[in-house]
Structure 1
Amino acid sequence: MNRPFFAFGQTLPDIAIPVLNERAVRAAAGLLFLGGIVAFMNAWLIGNFGPTRVFVLAFLMDFSIRLFVNPRYAPSLVLGQWMVRRQQPEWTGAPQKRFAWAIGFVLAGVMAFLVILKGLVGPLNLLVCALCLTLMFFETAFGICIGCWVYNRFNVEQAKLCPGGTCAYEPSEHERQGWGQLAAVVVAVAAVGGLAPLVAPDHMPAAPTVEAASPAIQSKPQDAAEAERCKVPEFAKAMGHEEKWKLHNHCE
């Protein structure tokens, strides 16, 4: 079958709308989530924003190919399709996925502007990155496309062929969770919370400190520009984020 190079979704003879393989889409979301969480942890824990910039660039390129060329050639979807190649496809409507991916593309563009072009560090980056990770996590872990849900709220023509049949499916009474199941979750959380202090002490032993032996070892005074650059902003102090802000901006 001859497939056009520029297209969005696959046309099947027995389905009226273009479709995508939901299994490949979820696998691609999982791959991107893995890369995103690694980059996020590098930035958050050790102040290394290099992986974040690389990931944002890759994310923006991937979603640009999805939207403006063809999802078949987006690297994450190519790898995702290969990983689920032995699974029967689950077809889902392409129009709502296009809308959801447009949201991802906008978020990627914002991150590229903030992190790559401007080199900014602050709560806005954190919020945008956390939103991207949340969308990908729900997609890959639960098969829930939040962008598709938004599509249905703003589009007169409702989405068709939703993953898991969520467009029309209503759970029966015996499929719904009861109070007993909820109680089991509460008991489990309480048990973990009660045992946590036993397995995770409140503090770790302090690392040994080495006192300076001579004035030469003492830290040299910062110049005025560096001192001004490392002045912790009020929003970071208000968030209790002072030490993390210093770490992220490579300030002592």
Structure 2
Amino acid sequence: MNLQSFLWEYGAKVPGYDVRVINEREARAAAGILGTLGMIVIFVGIGFNHTMVARVYLAFLFVDFTARIISPNYSPSLLLGKLVVQNQKPEYVGGLQKRFAWTLGWLISLPMMWWFVIHWDINFYKVLICVLCLLLTFLESAFGICVGCKLYKIMTKIDPAHCPGGVCEIRKKEPIQMFSPIQKVITALTVIGLVVGTYFFLAYTKPTTFFGEFLHEAVLTDSQLQKEKDAEFQREMEKEFGDDEEW
């Protein structure tokens, strides 16, 4: 295999397609597997303060994305996804944009290898990168949204072929995809409820981790934060000198 074929001949050659392709069903299944494992790692790490689980997962993530950008035939998560959906009809998408997206994933996993696997040094911003990675896997597995594929067109100026869900092709929405007025109201109320509920939870729930504390402070204004600090100071003073005042 020469360099040109390595760079431009990525994916499988399928009759009827003018470019090499990837089975999107396998890719989404693999994203779901990685995302689920990542959530388990977060819960185990926070609940049991078990850093080894996180190190093993992030090392696996790096190896998996390294294998992906070389060939999808050697990625452990893609092979697991293939095993799960092997009886489903394939949905083919262009291979090059998927490889570009997975290369971005590899670039995200590269610094995490140093921060968390080789040299454990955790802080909020580094954890935020991990959360970003999980968010991308969630978008791909749940909604078929490949953020890296969208960046592929922006950064390379090349129109991708055979995108997930057919979003590359200009088409008119089917009737089942349209929203009725009642559906629009229900959807809007659901979104508002989620946003408001998340805000109240972050604003009025006492955080117990540094990540929760950061989010708590992020949703409050400076005056609210000052008021909260004053109230906490007042409680501490009453706790310390309350008995003296009774005398």
TM-score, normalization by structure 1 = 0.70
User: SS at 1:28's partner residue?
Assistant: helix
The Cα of 1:18 is off from its aligned counterpart by: 1.0
Hey, what's the Cα distance between the residues in 2 that align with 1:165 and 1:149? 13
Hey, what's the Cα distance between the residues in 2 that align with 1:137 and 1:32? 9
Structure 1 counterpart of 2:64, from 43, 62, 65: 62
Hey, what's the Cα distance between the residues in 1 that align with 2:150 and 2:191? 30
Hey, what's the Cα distance between the residues in 2 that align with 1:19 and 1:136? 20
User: SS at 2:93's partner residue?
Assistant: strand
The corresponding residue for 1:154 is: 155
Task: Report 1:79-228 matches (<5 A).
Answer: 79-172=80-173, 174=175, 175-187=177-189
Hey, what's the Cα distance between the residues in 1 that align with 2:81 and 2:212? 39
Change (3 A) 1:189 1:14: closer
Hey, what's the Cα distance between the residues in 2 that align with 1:130 and 1:163? 23
Equivalent pair of 1:115/1:125 in contact (CA under 8 Å): no
The corresponding residue for 2:72 is: 71
Equivalent pair of 1:96/1:151 in contact (CA under 8 Å): yes
Greater helix content: 2
The corresponding residue for 1:39 is: 41
The 10-residue stretch of structure 1 (26-35 or 45-54) with the greater mean CA deviation from structure 2? 45-54
User: SS at 2:16's partner residue?
Assistant: coil
User: SS at 1:16's partner residue?
Assistant: coil
User: SS at 1:20's partner residue?
Assistant: strand
Equivalent pair of 2:32/2:141 in contact (CA under 8 Å): yes
Gaps of 5+ in 1: 1-5, 194-201, 204-231, 242-252
The Cα of 1:67 is off from its aligned counterpart by: 1.1
Task: Report 1:13-28 matches (<5 A).
Answer: 13-28=15-30
The 10-residue stretch of structure 1 (132-141 or 44-53) with the greater mean CA deviation from structure 2? 44-53
Change (3 A) 1:54 1:191: closer
Percent identity between matched residues is: 32
Q: Deviations over 1:121-176 (max 9, x none)?
A: 10122111011001100110011101101111112221100011110144437433
Change (3 A) 1:144 1:238: closer
Gaps of 5+ in 2: 1-5, 196-203, 218-247
Equivalent pair of 2:152/2:158 in contact (CA under 8 Å): no
TM-score, normalization by structure 2 = 0.71
The Cα of 1:22 is off from its aligned counterpart by: 0.5
Considering only aligned residues, what root-mean-square deviation do their CA atoms show, in Å?
3.2
The Cα of 1:44 is off from its aligned counterpart by: 3.4
The corresponding residue for 1:220 is: none
Hey, what's the Cα distance between the residues in 2 that align with 1:146 and 1:189? 21
The one-letter code matched in structure 1 to 2:68 is R
The one-letter code matched in structure 2 to 1:172 is K
